[in-house]
Structure 1
Amino acid sequence: MKSGSDTSDYVAGHSDHTYSLRPACGVGGLALCADPATCNIEGHDGYLFNIYEDGKRTPLDWQACLTEQEAKRLGGLTPGLVQHAFERLAWPASDLVVQPPNGKTLVNFDTNFYTTNAHPTTRTVTLLGQQVTIEATPTEYTWHFASDGGSDGGSDGGSDDGDLATSDPGAPYPDLRITHRYARVGGVRPSVDTTYAGRYRVGNGPWRAIPDTLTVPGAAVDLRVVSATPHLVGY
């Protein structure tokens, strides 16, 4: 097993060859692995990599123990590199559906909210010459019922303008799962943010979890809170 500096010196000393790195799997020893084995050398924690020369299918008879920074510099795919790609990719913002429709609701009425963004989205990218599939699944929704800060029709706030976090995307009427009652008439701009959990696979390898989640803010919609107008009905 070689350290990062020894690996760099070896590659530099054999410039008449080309080299590539692939993670050494923590279980099974597969060359193509999304979950590299960990190691420690010269007091530094790192990941274990197999070294390939001139595109050969069989790696060299030694492995490199590389820190995240060393692996990036030498062209090795690491979990941190996948996390960075996950954060830079465009994942869908959730469209907010409000019922009653047409941008109006009643004061002191259970206004219904939901989004249809409830299924995984997949992107395929090439990282350091390897095909990586990244999947993002909505796991949490943060509902902002008066996201303009005015809250329930006024700029001075209100008692029921708090946000709500759920794992539920809500549902159309009559299945009321995410509702809010506005205490005052006026204009509000509700929205919903979506938190994604990610996983990835290299080639056809096993799926591995991406450690950190990612939150995508949703666009606000215009909503007018009105009072019901009584009408006299003749008999």
Structure 2
Amino acid sequence: MILEQFHQTDFALPTMSIEPPDGRTLVNLPVFYELVWPEDGFEPDEIDTTEIIGYEVRIRPVLESATYHFGDGNSIGPTSSLGGQHPDGDITHEYSGAATVEPHITVVYGGDVSVDGGAWTAIPGTATIEGPLNPLEVFTSRNRLYD
């Protein structure tokens, strides 16, 4: 019953912060990706409390891994990195040609359970959640010298 409840948990839908912002970038420019948790749903370390056959059951999601899909066939992961913003983020990608791509994140949640205030125990199994697509236009640019 606990494993079933774990899979019914309203997990936070992983979203991406992308830099440069506004859904546009240039070929060969590093794009920085960051995993962002929305306010809705249960993100890692937030506790979902329910009752099962008269017992208080607390489920605490745990981030097992994230895979960053860049929309051009390339990806990084699985990793435990949340990425980050420019200039310190460690999840970056450079696009090699002009295109419209739809990067997204896949998160694998594990979990811990506590029954009636008891010790936390790992839940056997995981839940995989796909984040939404983030349209990104990749442009080329030409340099010109003028006299």
TM over 0.5: yes
Bigger RCO (CA 8 Å, 6+ sep): 2
Give the Cα separation in 2 of the matches to 1:224 and 1:126. 47
The aligned counterpart of 2:24 is 104
* One of 84, 94, 104 as aligned partner of 2:14: 94
Give yes or no for contact 2:34–2:89 (8 Å, CA) kept in 1.
no
Percent identity reads: 28
Give yes or no for contact 1:114–1:172 (8 Å, CA) kept in 2.
yes
The aligned counterpart of 2:40 is none
Residue 206 of structure 1 pairs with residue 119 of structure 2: yes
Paired AA for residue 187 in structure 1: T
Give the Cα separation in 2 of the matches to 1:217 and 1:140. 12
The aligned counterpart of 1:217 is 130
Secondary structure of the structure 2 residue equivalent to 1:136: strand
Give the Cα separation in 1 of the matches to 2:17 and 2:7. 26
Q: Structure 2 unaligned segments of length 5 or more: list them.
A: 38-42
Q: Deviations over 1:97-136 (max 9, x none)?
A: 1111110111122111111337422200111111100000
Residue 162 of structure 1 pairs with residue 74 of structure 2: yes
Secondary structure of the structure 2 residue equivalent to 1:195: strand
Give the Cα separation in 1 of the matches to 2:146 and 2:129. 49
- TM-score normalized by structure 2? 0.89
Give yes or no for contact 1:91–1:121 (8 Å, CA) kept in 2.
no
Aligned alpha-carbon RMSD (Å)? 1.5
Which is strand-richer, 1 or 2? 2
Give yes or no for contact 2:25–2:136 (8 Å, CA) kept in 1.
yes
The aligned counterpart of 2:102 is 189
- TM-score normalized by structure 1? 0.57
Give the Cα separation in 1 of the matches to 2:33 and 2:67. 12
Q: Structure 1 unaligned segments of length 5 or more: list them.
A: 1-80, 152-160
Give yes or no for contact 1:93–1:193 (8 Å, CA) kept in 2.
no
Q: Which runs of 4+ in 1 moved over 3 A?
A: 231-234
The aligned counterpart of 2:47 is 122
Secondary structure of the structure 2 residue equivalent to 1:171: coil
Paired AA for residue 114 in structure 2: R
How far off is 1:179 after superposition?
Answer: 0.7
Aligned residues: 141
Give the structure with higher Rg (CA): 1
